[in-house]
Chain A
Amino acid sequence: MNKKKKIEFSAYAFLIPAGIIYLSVIIAPVFYSLYISLFKWNGIGDMQFTGLGNYVKLFTDDKIFAIAIKNNLIWIALTIIVTMSVSLALAVLLNNQFRGRTFFRGFFYFPCVIAPIAVAIIWRWIYNPNVGFINQFFKTIGIDYAQSWISDPKVSLFAIFAASLWQAVGQPMILFLAGLQSVSVDVLEAATIDGAGSVKKFLYVTVPLMKETFIIVIATLIVSAMKVFDVVQGLTAGGPANSTQMLSTYMYSQTFQYNNVGTGTAVACVMVLMMMLVIVPYVSFTAKEN
């Protein structure tokens, strides 16, 4: 009866193609980038070894890099607080039975399928201080308020985030919706019988039962917040005066505009490290709890 499980080597053979692809397009480039980040290189000529010089320079003598890190951290915080809350609220609303529910699910998910660069173009016109929708709307309803939105360094990052939010809520909303539907009706009924109101049921029954969904949503939101690029590049290109510079936009300009490939890849490595520092402990901690 105690039959020893046989190792199916042929099954492992099926993993080889995927393994090769993964190694060649993910693992190898990551290590190659790490290697390049130790050099001064313009992408074409000879590479000059500088050790950790690119990293030291970034952290000690690069004001734009500091702005980019700060902006990425703000973006992560906004994403976790605002994007997650809005998408959860929408999911809860759209989980109820009402006429037109399918339409509204599609309606709120729809921006998610638009390319981020197109979102940037759409919102550039919405934010246009002269003919844009927002300022014109205020004018039409008699409110004497005009804002230059993305041109004002005090609000530009938040204005870009708002544009991004419009597109970003769709994906987590769908995940939350799936999570909500996986919550057992029996458990909710039991809580109702025990006298729990809607809020208590949501906080003490639904949310704990959706723990896996939250892990996935938070992890993917952090990753997407760290690598945000298109919408920023399209709306402000990191301006005005670098006030909306992100690690990704800075990496791009260093690598492909200034030909400082070593510096650019060092920025990329910092991005990866930052993501790992947040994601790995978070996921391993939550996995341990399970």
Chain B
Amino acid sequence: MMKSKKLVALVLATAMLAATALTGCGGSSEKDRSEDSANGNGNAVELSFWTLSTRQNAVEPIVEEFNSQNEDIEITVSYYDTDGMKDACKVAASSDTLPSMWFNWGGSLGGFYAENGLTYDLTDYAAENDWSNKFSAGALNLCTLSDQLAGYPTSYNVLDVYYRQDIFEQNGIAVPATFEEFESACVVLKEKGITPISTAGLNGWHVMRFVELLIEHYAGAELHDKLNTFEESWTNEAVVKAFEKYQEFCEKGYFPEGFITADPNDTRMATVSGTAAMDIQGQWYDGQILQDGADISQFSTFAFPSGGTDRLSAFAEMVQFNKNLSDEELAAGMKFLDFYYSDENVAQYAEYYNLPLPKTGAAMPEGQPNVEMMLETSNENGTFTITDQALPTEVADVLFSAQDALANGQMTPEEAAQSIQDAIEAYLNK
């Protein structure tokens, strides 16, 4: 009896042990999944896709339709917010669990994956499939990182000053043509109890959009570009002056109360409700205004009068592919993206795309009047790379901290400039 009990106990323990060991074998990387798929272990090519949650309303039905039309392909989507996407990809990169394809930005953000050999180099694919005639040269150029074509271009974005036309008219404010006129407009708005500029500093990048325009104003185009490529020191007078002006704007209350820790996704509340008059945004803002059900005719844009040609900041977005994809999986992914960015889907879910698409001869979106205007302005005025894509993340984060410290009076402009230069030197000496 005793012996049989022991035997049962040992069998149970062995079973539990086996179960534990087998459970531990459950994880697999994209490479393993790719090999499984190539070996014919699955009926359909399975691809995972990570994208922004702001596009979920379009992505969900499109993926559903694509999967139903293509029985041999199964797309599974995960959604992240802006900063969640950046973090999730970094975590996945270091644990070799990147999805089959993922949304990303250009510059230093997408460049990390290309530099470290994690993305599929699409250079040959592009040549074979005539991408030079399919996509705009500018977009392909911005997606070329570390000498590789690091992604499928999905948008080319430019940022402008969105403003409430009705508020400007009611207060007798003309669209500012010079920086002095811009400051005067802020004075008038503040006197009327309207916050001149809606911004939000949680994560730093929204406030950065204004700070980089001030740097463009004081530094000029050439010096600004050299600052971003570290050819010039950030301790120079132009940066200090830009920070002084930003600090002055903070002290004068030209931004919403407590903006430093406000969520950048909420800046629209102030402009739509009319408590703020301006917001620095990209052309996707038209789509968001429409999603909110607000009156798009109240909004127009102007190029920030920074001087020179009044350049706009710009950045690209793309979908990057996992380096481990098989040819079959890559083809399936391309098929999906071509479907996602097809004219029919773009027309149906226009407000969830950053339009126009970066394709040759892409149509301008209907009912989004500012988009065409902004792109024309960017062509005429020229662009510079948005700062958080121009700088490495750890340097950009020091700029974000400096923005906070300047706003709270914890740093002088000189100290802020020095802190960024120190971060650059630390980065270069890593």
Contact = CB atoms under 8 A, between A and B. Distances in A.
B408 A241 contact: yes
Contact of A24 (B24, B261, B408, B410): B24
Interface in B389-430: 393-394, 397, 400-402, 404-405, 407-408, 410-411, 430
Contacts of B400: 239
Contacts of A138: none
Contact of A43 (B9, B16, B94, B407): B94
A14 interface: yes
Given A10-B10, A129-B258, A146-B257, A124 B263 contact: yes
A242 B430 CA distance: 22
Interface in A147-186: 148-153, 156
- Among A10, A146, A239, A253, chain B packs the most CB atoms within 10 A around the CB of A239
B90 interface: yes
A149 B259 CA distance: 11
A113 interface: no
Contacts of A142: none
A260 B112 CA distance: 13
A197 interface: no
B31 interface: no
A10 B402 CA distance: 62
B93 interface: yes
Interface in B78-123: 86-87, 90-91, 93-94, 112, 116, 118
Contacts of A31: none
Interface string A7-50: 00011011011001100100000000000000010111100000
B127 interface: no
Contact of B260 (A11, A240, A257): A240
A277 B207 CA distance: 41
Contacts of A146: 257
A240 B261 contact: yes
B13 A239 contact: no
Contacts of A240: 201, 260-261, 404-405, 407-408
Contacts of B410: 153, 241
B21 interface: yes
A128 interface: yes
A236 interface: yes
Contact of B94 (A17, A44, A124, A237): A44
A20 B17 contact: yes
Nearest to A12: B13
Contact of B402 (A40, A42, A129, A241): A241
A259 B94 CA distance: 9
Contacts of A24: 24
A204 interface: no
A235 interface: yes
- Among B118, B258, B407, chain A packs the most CB atoms within 10 A around the CB of B258
B262 interface: yes
Contact of A20 (B20, B90, B203, B258): B20
A258 B397 contact: yes
Interface of B is mostly: helix
Interface residues of A, number: 43
A261 B394 CA distance: 13
A6 to B, nearest CB: 10
A258 B430 CA distance: 11
A240 B408 CA distance: 8
Nearest to B16: A17
Interface string A229-256: 0000001110111110000000001011
B174 interface: no
A124 B264 CA distance: 12
B116 A44 contact: yes
A20 to B, nearest CB: 5
Nearest to A153: B408
A130 interface: yes
B127 to A, nearest CB: 27
B257 A257 contact: no
A187 B313 CA distance: 75
Contacts of A148: 257-258, 260
Nearest to B394: A258
Nearest to A245: B401
B17 A17 contact: yes
A260 B12 CA distance: 45
A261 B17 contact: no
Nearest to A150: B261
Contacts of B203: 237
A241 B405 contact: yes
B94 A151 contact: no
Given A129-B257, A239-B260, A240-B405, A20 B10 contact: no
Contacts of B404: 153, 239-241, 243
Contacts of A253: 397
B21 to A, nearest CB: 7
Nearest to B269: A131
A45 B202 CA distance: 31
Contact of A236 (B257, B259, B261): B261
A82 B14 CA distance: 49
A242 B401 contact: yes
B6 interface: yes
A257 B394 CA distance: 7
A40 B204 CA distance: 27
B19 interface: yes
Given A150-B258, A156-B261, A240-B408, A14 B9 contact: yes
B425 to A, nearest CB: 12
Given A42-B116, A153-B410, A253-B397, A239 B201 contact: yes
Interface in A200-244: 235-237, 239-243
Interface of B: 6, 9-10, 12-14, 16-17, 19-21, 24, 86-87, 90-91, 93-94, 112, 116, 118, 201-204, 256-263, 275, 393-394, 397, 400-402, 404-405, 407-408, 410-411, 430
Interface of A: 10-11, 13-14, 16-17, 20-21, 24, 40, 42-45, 124, 127-130, 146, 148-153, 156, 235-237, 239-243, 253, 255-261
4 smallest beta-carbon distances between A and B, as pairs: A43-B94, A129-B258, A13-B13, A240-B404
Given A42-B116, A128-B262, 17 more contacts: A13-B9, A13-B17, A14-B16, A16-B13, A16-B17, A17-B13, A17-B20, A43-B93, A45-B116, A130-B275, A151-B262, A237-B203, A240-B404, A241-B408, A243-B404, A256-B90, A257-B393
13 contacts: A10-B10, A14-B9, A17-B13, A17-B16, A17-B17, A20-B24, A42-B116, A43-B93, A124-B263, A128-B258, A256-B87, A256-B91, A258-B397
